[in-house]
Amino acid sequence: MAALQPGRLLARRYRLLDQIGAGGMSVIWRARDEVLNRVVAVKVLAPSLAADARFRDMVREEARSAAQLVHPHVTSVHDYGETLAPDGEITSFVVMELLEGEELEDRLSEGPLPWPAAVEVGIQVAEALAAAHRLGIVHRDITPANVMMTKVGAKVLDFGIATQAGTPDEDEDGGTFGTPAYVAPERLDGAPAQPATDVYSLGVLLYETLTGQVPYPADTWEELGAALQDQRAPSLEGVPGLPPVVARTCLRCLARDPHERPSAHQVAAALRDQMLPGDPQAATMLSPTVTLPALATSPGAATATGEVASAGR
């Protein structure tokens, strides 16, 4: 990773311009596609991961799947490539649409959004997930850091590291993939990523945009397990003017039982009805087979009543 410098040409096509982001698994560069004469984002995998042929194969297949996902609220994946240096080091990278905007995480550092703005974000992320789920793709890491606020609305990032529903997955250390505070409870027991696990993460994201807090604060898997056992059920009673349907929809996404969660399509439709009242299709999408939560009788259940659980990022 340290060998990469501005001006480096990858695959005789992508000229690196400047580094715009970094994480434990990758570095993101602004680059120029010299074939199509456009500026793109290039995510370069960490050398330790790029050296693992199994991991490269996984990323290539996932990027191929994500490239099929064309949606106004999804960052487009354009290409995947590998280069081999004279010293034998492999550079593995994913080429994506370059976005201009602000991460939702940064926006939330200033406090929660007004409920109409939060609901609009929720609709757009839910629609992106619904499109992915129709193709059998699950994201695995829906968080505010993976949602970019642009002039044309929210864009979900990192579908280039998504996976097929039901596929066993793990992070680079062999553990559960994802950000603990946003990961569905069943994942702690080894359940594979499914559309319902994305919907749980969507519920956490929506809850955070409305309250400024995550329902179950955790930085590690152990902390998440303890929080799920010890914390009060989440509530949205303190959000001024929040329509009850929005609260119930959000809390249903947080249901402990994945079978009790609505689909991403149903979430989008139910939330959209609050922005466009009177849409009969949206009003009926949360059908009796996806009953919204009643009052909880135990600390572990999601409810629309009680205090908002204290949380921190």
Active site residues: 141
* CA count, 13 A, side-chain hemisphere, 301: 12
Residue 258 to residue 193: CA distance in whole angstroms: 11
Burial, 255: exposed, middle or buried (Cβ in 10 Å; 0-12, 13-18, 19+)?
Answer: buried
Q: Give the 3-state secondary structure of residue 155.
A: strand
Residue 219 to residue 216: CA distance in whole angstroms: 10
Phi, psi of 195 (to 5 degrees): -50, -40
How many residues does the structure list for the chain?
A: 313
How many other C-beta atoms can be found within 10 angstroms of the C-beta atom of residue 296? Answer: 18
Contact 30, 100 (CB under 8 A): no
Contact 207, 235 (CB under 8 A): no
Sequential DSSP letters for 142-169: --GGGEEEETTEEEE--GGG-EETT---
Q: Give the torsion through C-alpha atoms of 118, 119, 121, 126, to 10 deg.
A: 140
Residue 244 to residue 273: CA distance in whole angstroms: 12
Phi, psi of 73 (to 5 degrees): -110, 25
